[in-house]
Structure 1
Amino acid sequence: MLSIRDERVRTLAQDLMQKTGAPTITAAIRQALENEISRASEEPTFQEKIKTLQDRVRSMAKHPPDRNYVDSRDDLWDN
């Protein structure tokens, strides 16, 4: 059994129940939680977000980083 003591939460749950046609507040809350878990599961991880940003920044660079930096630097000085 679900016991909601917070009046704002109860109001939100009742509103959700009416808008979704859920038979009970518990069913409305269950549906909302399942939807939120599903949405959160589809969102990229923090590491994926960072990699996407890094890739965007690299693509904007005039001179993308060279993996063989030491050789490139030495070539500039004819060494």
Structure 2
Amino acid sequence: MAEIPFTLQSYGLIYSGYSIVQTGYSMPLYVRDESVNDLAAQAQRVLKTRTKTEAIRIALERAISTEENRPPLMERLKKIQDQAAALGPVDPDFDQKAYLDEMWGNN
């Protein structure tokens, strides 16, 4: 096994190819931004987890899953374009200003 840098060994981590694997030691999570710390505490309460770290893990897993399962932008735009096309062709004689003036009572 190749020599592992001291910083990785000290945290119980093993470098394996392109990934770092934790070997059973807990690593503390330090949050320096107070608003992020507040969000982590709120997530802990809402998710009813024992620790903020667990709440953050769950929240991040959900966020990643949501984004990975979200349809691509072009697919979402196509759906909107199809809905607009289903409304029919645009009336070239429609007067938008007159319509808005009437709607707002500015005759």
TM-score range, shorter chain: 0.5 to 0.7
| 1:15 aligned counterpart, secondary structure | helix
**Do residues 21 (structure 1) and 48 (structure 2) align?**
yes
Matched with 1:74 is none
Matching of residues 1-79 of structure 1 within 5 Å: 1=27, 2-62=29-89
Q: Mark the runs of 5 or more structure 1 residues left unpaired by the alignment.
A: 64-79
Give the TM-score of the pair, scaled to structure 1.
0.67
Superposed CA deviations along residues 9-67 of structure 1, whole A, max 9, x for unmatched, are 1111012112212111110000000111112223221101111122112222249xxxx
Q: Mark the runs of 5 or more structure 2 residues left unpaired by the alignment.
A: 1-26, 91-107
- The alignment-based identity, stated in percent, is 37
Aligned length: 63
Matched with 2:100 is none
Specify which structure has the higher proportion of helix: 1
Distance 1:19 1:50 in 2: 34
Q: Structure with the greater relative contact order (CA < 8 A, sep ≥ 6): 1 or 2?
A: 1
Matched with 2:24 is none
Give the TM-score of the pair, scaled to structure 2.
0.52
